[in-house]
Amino acid sequence: MLILIAGPYRSGTGDDVLKMQENLKRLEHPSYALFKAGHLPMIGEWVALPVWGAAGGRKVGDDLYEEIFHPVAGRLLQLCDAVLRLPGASKGADNDVRIAEERGIPVYYRLEDVPGCSEYP
């Protein structure tokens, strides 16, 4: 399955780039376990960050940022087979879950609940 990993990225960082990078590392943490189980992990920021940069994005939260970041997840969810929602407050991740549920896409809240990942707590 193509699995969108959703969780806090910008939330709670005060737009501190280092904190956002730490959040991205937390989002990436389960990616190898998903891959080992035969899935393809996806994180919206893996797509949004280079698109934003190529478009001339400079400041987190600017109009260009808002134009790109949340719509990327919505477009990815047209392709994804499931969502892994990691803990933590995040309006964006909550929106991803809402979209997934509306589309009938399974949402997992624990890595070990993803098919094939029970041995990766």
pLDDT in tens, 97-107: 999 999 999 99
Residue 113 to residues 55, 89, 94, 108, 118: CA-CA distances in angstroms? 38, 20, 19, 6, 6
Element at 94 (helix H, strand E): helix 91-103
- pLDDT, position 7: 97
118 against 85, higher pLDDT? 85
Residue type, 56: G
Q: What is the pLDDT of residues 19-66, one digit of tens each?
A: 999 999 999 999 999 999 999 999 999 999 999 999 999 899 999 999
pLDDT-derived band of residue 120, with 50, 70 and 90 as boundaries? low
The matching CATH number, chosen from 3.40.640.10, 3.60.20.10, 3.40.50.10400, 3.40.50.10490, for 2-113 is 3.40.50.10400
Strand extents, DSSP E, 1-121? 2-6, 40-42, 82-85, 107-108
Closest alpha carbon to 60 in 21, 92, 15, 93: 15
